[in-house]
A and B are shown apart, each in its own frame.
Chain A
Amino acid sequence: GESVGLHLPTLSVQEGDNSIINCAYSNSASDYFIWYKQESGKGPQFIIDIRSNMDKRQGQRVTVLLNKTVKHLSLQIAATQPGDSAVYFCAEIGAGGTSYGKLTFGQGTILTVHP
Chain B
Amino acid sequence: GAGVSQSPSNKVTEKGKDVELRCDPISGHTALYWYRQSLGQGLEFLIYFQGNSAPDKSGLPSDRFSAERTGGSVSTLTIQRTQQEDSAVYLCASSLSGAGQGRDQPQHFGDGTRLSIL
Contacts and interface: CB of A to CB of B under 8 A. Distances in A.
Contacts of B100: 99-100
Interface residues of B, number: 31
Contact of B42 (A34, A51, A89, A102): A89
Interface string B98-118: 111011111111111000000
A49 B44 CA distance: 20
Contacts of B93: 43, 103
Given A43-B112, A46-B107, A101 B43 contact: no
A101 B95 contact: yes
Given A43-B4, A99-B100, A108 B31 contact: no
B56 A44 contact: no
Contacts of A91: 43
**Chain B facing A: main interface SS:** strand
A100 B43 contact: no
Contacts of B104: 31-32, 49, 51, 93-94, 101
Interface residues of A, number: 27
Contacts of B91: 43-44
Nearest to B97: A101
Contacts of A104: 45
A40 to B, nearest CB: 11
Given A41-B111, A43-B91, A101-B95, A49 B106 contact: yes
